[in-house]
Amino acid sequence: MEQRGGSPQLLRRINDRAALLALLDRGPLTRLELESHIGLSKPATADLLLRLEESGHVRRAGLREGGKGPRAQRWAVNGALAYVAAVDLTPRTLDIAVSDICGEIVAEHRYRPVDEADLEVDDLCRAVSVAAAEVGLTTGQLHRVVVGVPGSVDARTGHLHFAPHLPPWQGFDVLERLSGSLDTSVAVENDVNLVALDEMAVGQAVGVDDFVLIWMGRGIGAAVVSGGRLLRGSSGGAGEIDWMPCPSTGVTGGRRIGDVLGTRAVMELAHAHGLPGDDLEKLLAEDLGTDPVARSAFLRDLARRVALAVAGVVSVVDPALVVLTGDIGRAGGSVLCGLVTEELAELVLPRPKIQPSLLTGNPVRSGALRLALAAAREEVFTVIPTP
CATH number at residue 307: 3.30.420.40
Q: Do 29 and 103 fall within a single domain?
A: no
Residue 356 has pLDDT above 50, yes or no: yes
Q: Do 337 and 368 fall within a single domain?
A: no
Q: Which residues contact 254 (CB under 8 A, 6 or more apart)?
A: 246, 248, 260, 265
The answer for 277, left when phi > 0, alpha when psi is -120 to 50, beta otherwise, is left
Rounded mean pLDDT, 188-206: 97
Given 26, 54, 77, the domain boundary residue is 77
Note the pLDDT of residue 252: 45
Q: Do 338 and 231 fall within a single domain?
A: yes
Examine residue 160 and state whether it is found in any structural domain, yes or no.
yes
Cα 9 to chain centroid distance, Å, stands at 35
Examine residue 20 and state whether it is found in any structural domain, yes or no.
yes
The pTM of the whole model exceeds 0.85: yes
Asked if residue 85 lies in contact with residue 372, where contact means CB atoms within 8 angstroms, the answer is yes
For the stretch 231-290, pLDDT in tens is 999 888 899 999 888 876 554 455 789 889 989 999 999 999 999 888 888 888 876 666
DSSP 30-83: EHHHHHHHHT--HHHHHHHHHHHHHTTSEEEEEE--SSSSSPPEEEEE-GGG-E
Q: Do 325 and 246 fall within a single domain?
A: yes
Least confident interval from 85-89, 100-104, 255-259, 342-346: 255-259
Note the pLDDT of residue 211: 98
Examine residue 13 and state whether it is found in any structural domain, yes or no.
yes
Q: Do 85 and 182 fall within a single domain?
A: yes
Note the pLDDT of residue 71: 80
The total of other beta-carbon atoms located within 10 Å of residue 210's CB is: 16
Note the pLDDT of residue 250: 55
Given 45, 77, 109, the domain boundary residue is 77
The total of other beta-carbon atoms located within 10 Å of residue 90's CB is: 18
Domain containing 34 equals 8-77
Q: What percent of the chain has pLDDT over 90?
A: 77
Q: Do 296 and 172 fall within a single domain?
A: no
Residue scoring higher pLDDT (53 or 281): 53
DSSP 94: E
Q: Do 146 and 217 fall within a single domain?
A: no
Examine residue 43 and state whether it is found in any structural domain, yes or no.
yes
Asked if residue 302 lies in contact with residue 266, where contact means CB atoms within 8 angstroms, the answer is yes
3-state secondary structure of 215: strand
Confidence of residue 385 (pLDDT cuts 50, 70, 90): low
Q: Which residues contact 37 (CB under 8 A, 6 or more apart)?
A: 22, 26, 29
Q: Do 173 and 62 fall within a single domain?
A: no
Q: Do 180 and 52 fall within a single domain?
A: no
Examine residue 217 and state whether it is found in any structural domain, yes or no.
yes
Q: Do 73 and 107 fall within a single domain?
A: no
Examine residue 183 and state whether it is found in any structural domain, yes or no.
yes
Rounded mean pLDDT, 151-177: 93
The full length of the chain comes to: 387
Examine residue 199 and state whether it is found in any structural domain, yes or no.
no
Domains: count for the chain: 3
Examine residue 202 and state whether it is found in any structural domain, yes or no.
no
Q: List the helix and strand counts (H, then E) for the chain.
A: 12, 15
Angle between helices 191-202 and 363-380 (to 10 degrees): 80
Round to whole Å and give the CA distance between 335 and 340: 9
Angle between helices 42-54 and 31-38 (to 10 degrees): 110
Confidence of residue 219 (pLDDT cuts 50, 70, 90): confident
The total of other beta-carbon atoms located within 10 Å of residue 318's CB is: 15
Q: Do 325 and 372 fall within a single domain?
A: no
